[in-house]
Structure formats: C-alpha cells, structure tokens
C-alpha cells in the first residue's frame, strides 16, 4: 500500500512539474517569437508604410505584403524561441533552488526533459507546415502583389502634356477625354529589341486586365521599323482600332517553377535529383537541407537549452558558458544558412552536409545537458540497479534442527 501511494505521489509531482514548466516556457517563447518577428519585419514595415503614405498602394495590398512574409520569419525564429523559453525558465528555476528540490522529491532527469522535448516537437511540426508549404505559396503571391502595386504606380504616371516612360514604351497624351481613362491625341513610342514602332492616334483608352495594362487606340497611324541585313525597312499602316500593350506583369514575373524557394518539401525531394529547366540540382538540395535543419533544430536546441540554463546560473565560469552558448546558436545558424557554399567547397552533397551538421550539434547539446545535470546532482542521484544473486540455501539436517 505504501509503495502504491509513493507511485501515485510521484506521478502527481511529475504532472505538476510538467504543467508548471510548460506554462513558463510557452509564455517566454511566445514573447521572444513576437519580438523577434517584429524586429525582422521592421524594414519591410517601413517600406509598406512609405507605399501607403505616398498613395502608391492601398492598405489592403500593403498589409498583404507583410502577411506574405510571416511564414518565413516565424519558421526561421521558432527554434530560437523555444531555446530562449527553455533556457530562461531553467536558469530561473536553478537560481531559485527549484531544480534541487525536484531532485530531492525524486523527479528523474528523463522526466524533466520530456516537457521541453514535447514542446520542441510541437514547434517542429509548426515549422514543417510554415516552411514546407505556406512559405512557398506565399512567396509567389508576394511577388505578384508587389508587381500589381508597381503596375498601378506606373499607370498613374499618365499625365497630359508629359512624356511618361511605362515599361519599354514612352507615352504622351494631350488631354483627358470625357470618358474615364480616355485620352485625346496620343503619341506612343515602343521598343522591342532592334524593332521599334511609333503610333499617333486621335483617341486612346487605358484598360487593365489581370496583370496586363494596354491602350486601346483608335483612328491612327502606326510606323514600324524592321531591321534588315542591308537596310532598315519602314512600314506605315493606318488602323481604326489597335491594342498596344504597355505592361505585361507575367513577362517580368519569374514563373513559380523557376525558384527553389517556391517549392514545397515533397516537391524539393523530387526536384533535387531532376531539377526543372533554369535551375540547378545544388540549389534544390541546399534549400531542402536548410529547411530540414530549421525543422529539426527545435529538438536539438531544447536539449541544449536545459544544460545552458543550469550552467549559466552559476556564479563562476559564466563567461565560458556564455561563449559556448553564442558559438552554439550562431554557429548552427551560419553553418546551416551557408550550407550550399560550404557543401560545394567541400564537394559534399548538401543533404549529407546537413546530416553531419545536425549530428554534430546533437552531440554538442547532449554534452552540455550532461554537464548541467552533473551540476544539479541528477547524475549522482540516479539509482544504481544491481541484480541480486540468489543464494541457494542448503537444507539443514534433521539432527541439527533437533539440537
């Protein structure tokens, strides 16, 4: 009965410790995540604010420019957020003597480590969704929205009596007509390589469809210069109605299959061995390796954060452990970010490189954890289990019993 009570009380202590620990880590990690994302977004927030103030972008498109970059920044900082949350929580618990109390009431080192690992796995799952799917989709939408803003800003340059450069063309209009987006007496000069054309018309109407902007020109003359081997040929033609393309956003917009950052993780796995035209296999492998590194990093960081939190609570040797912490975080970030350059220089496959990197920092994190556990006394507090040898008792003779 006493053994059963001890078992129940141990489970209750573990559960209480886990909820207390998880609550403190979640609050600190969330605060660090919000602050970090805001700092990373500050430069883009200034650009978006400038677009709105100058009237070149409505608030809806400006906000979407910020939203499209959120998956990248959140996925990038999740590992560092869980590290800070676990590190700061463990450091405070060690300074307040809570870890020593946990050792004395019988909480095992494995039981203490389960909570940060579960939180790290949740972070890894979120990073998988953000970096593996949401970021590739949002990057293309970001470039499309930015192109539409540039398109609208370029079309606003059409002012009477001014030469307005739009795309590869230069447009001059004399005055506005009564109809909306319609101009009187239009002159257009456009270039297409060695070929150029000049259009002079009585009337033109500006039309925008999707990502294209064009002038529907009426009653005019078009002069086209066609270069020949020996001489230039000038072709004159009259027309009643003609469509002249000003801007075609699709032409200048990189297709979604030509950028490795716009592939999901399953697509990167497939494209790593057979990249599409215009891309390299090394780019696909490097992007896949970087994302895998950022997805697995929260688990490695949470293990190391427990050890660093204990060790940096010490009054002595803080400088040494602080330098080790700086090397751990900055080293992993830089080695993972520049994996393509390093793997190319070492003539290694990027996937093999990130495997070696993760294995090395996993060993580093476990060593830091063991050093921290030794400081608290968890290493010495482990019960040593020994098998007791059964001693066979020899039967006592009847004569001895009688004696």
pLDDT digits (tens, 9 = 90+) for 260-318: 788 899 989 888 888 877 678 888 899 999 999 999 999 999 999 999 999 999 877 78
* Helix, coil or strand: residue 203: strand
What does the pLDDT look like over 51-79, one tens digit per residue?
A: 777 656 777 888 888 889 899 999 999 99
pLDDT of residue 193: 62
Do residues 262 and 364 both lie within one domain? yes
> What's the pTM?
0.75
Q: Do 376 and 306 meet the contact criterion of CB atoms below 8 Å apart?
A: no
Q: How does residue 384 score in pLDDT terms, banded at 50, 70 and 90? A: very low
pLDDT of residue 382: 44
* Residue 131 to residue 9: CA distance in whole angstroms: 42
The tokens of 200 are what?
């002079």
**How many domains in the chain?**
2
Do residues 30 and 132 both lie within one domain? yes
Q: Which of 66-75, 159-168, 197-206, 359-368 has the lowest mean pLDDT?
A: 159-168
Do residues 244 and 140 both lie within one domain? no
pLDDT of residue 379: 54
pLDDT of residue 213: 77
Asked whether residue 188 is assigned to any structural domain, the reply reads: yes
Asked whether residue 395 is assigned to any structural domain, the reply reads: no
* Residue 48 to residue 52: CA distance in whole angstroms: 6
Asked whether residue 389 is assigned to any structural domain, the reply reads: no
Do residues 208 and 293 both lie within one domain? no
DSSP state, residue 386: -
Q: Domain containing 190 — which CATH number?
A: 2.30.30
Asked whether residue 139 is assigned to any structural domain, the reply reads: yes
Do residues 306 and 351 both lie within one domain? yes
Do residues 164 and 139 both lie within one domain? no
Do residues 37 and 126 both lie within one domain? yes
Do residues 77 and 124 both lie within one domain? yes
Asked whether residue 403 is assigned to any structural domain, the reply reads: no
* Residue 316 to residue 310: CA distance in whole angstroms: 12
Asked whether residue 22 is assigned to any structural domain, the reply reads: yes
Do residues 205 and 145 both lie within one domain? no
Asked whether residue 388 is assigned to any structural domain, the reply reads: no
What's the whole-number mean pLDDT along residues 123-137?
Answer: 95
Long-range CB contacts (within 8 A, 24+) of 313-317: 313/90, 313/91, 313/94, 313/95, 314/375
For the cut 50, the answer to whether the pLDDT of residue 211 exceeds it is yes
- Phi, psi for residue 96 in degrees, rounded to 5: -90, 5
For the cut 50, the answer to whether the pLDDT of residue 380 exceeds it is no
pLDDT of residue 231: 61
Do residues 144 and 261 both lie within one domain? yes
* Helix locations, 96-188, DSSP H: 98-104, 109-129, 135-155
Do residues 297 and 245 both lie within one domain? no
Q: How does residue 3 score in pLDDT terms, banded at 50, 70 and 90? A: very low
Asked whether residue 397 is assigned to any structural domain, the reply reads: no
What does the pLDDT look like over 148-171, one tens digit per residue?
A: 777 676 667 777 888 888 777 888
Do residues 142 and 9 both lie within one domain? yes
Q: Which domain holds residue 309?
A: 2-151+257-376
């Amino acid at each position: 009965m006493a053994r059963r009570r001890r078992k129940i009380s141990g489970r209750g202590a573990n559960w209480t410790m886990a909820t207390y620990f998880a609550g403190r880590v979640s609050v600190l990690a969330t605060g660090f995540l919000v602050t970090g994302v805001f700092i990373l977004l500050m430069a883009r927030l200034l650009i978006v604010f400038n677009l709105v103030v100058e009237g070149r972008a409505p608030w809806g498109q400006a906000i979407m420019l910020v939203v499209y970059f959120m998956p990248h920044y959140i996925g990038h900082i999740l590992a560092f957020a869980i590290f800070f949350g676990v590190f700061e929580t463990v450091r405070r618990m060690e300074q307040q003597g809570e870890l020593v109390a946990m050792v004395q009431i019988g909480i095992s080192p494995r039981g203490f480590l389960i909570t940060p690992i579960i939180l790290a796995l949740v972070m890894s799952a979120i990073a998988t969704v953000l970096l593996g799917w949401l970021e590739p989709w949002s990057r293309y939408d970001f470039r499309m929205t930015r192109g539409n803003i540039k398109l609208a800003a370029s079309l606003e340059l059409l002012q009477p009596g001014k030469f307005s450069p739009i795309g590869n063309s230069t447009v001059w209009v004399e005055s506005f007509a009564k109809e909306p987006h319609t101009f009187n007496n239009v002159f257009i000069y456009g270039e297409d390589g060695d070929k150029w054309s000049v259009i002079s018309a009585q009337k033109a109407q500006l039309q925008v469809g999707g990502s294209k902007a064009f002038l529907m020109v009426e009653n005019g003359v078009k002069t086209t210069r066609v270069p020949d081997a020996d001489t230039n040929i000038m072709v004159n033609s009259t027309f009643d109605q003609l469509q002249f393309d000003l801007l075609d956003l699709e032409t200048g917009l990189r297709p979604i299959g030509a950028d490795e950052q716009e592939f999901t993780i399953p697509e990167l796995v497939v494209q790593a061995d057979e990249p599409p035209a215009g891309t390299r296999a090394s780019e696909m492998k490097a992007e896949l390796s970087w994302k895998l590194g950022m997805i697995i990093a929260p688990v490695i960081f949470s293990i190391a954060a427990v050890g660093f939190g204990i060790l940096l609570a010490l009054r002595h040797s803080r400088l040494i452990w602080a330098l080790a912490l700086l090397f751990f975080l900055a080293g992993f970030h830089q080695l993972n970010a520049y994996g393509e350059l390093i793997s190319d220089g070492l003539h290694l496959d990027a996937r093999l490189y990130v495997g070696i990197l993760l294995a090395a920092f996993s060993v580093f994190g476990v060593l830091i954890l063991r050093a921290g556990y030794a400081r608290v006394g968890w290493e010495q507090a482990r019960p040593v289990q020994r098998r007791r040898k059964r001693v066979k008792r020899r039967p006592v003779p009847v004569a001895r019993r009688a004696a």
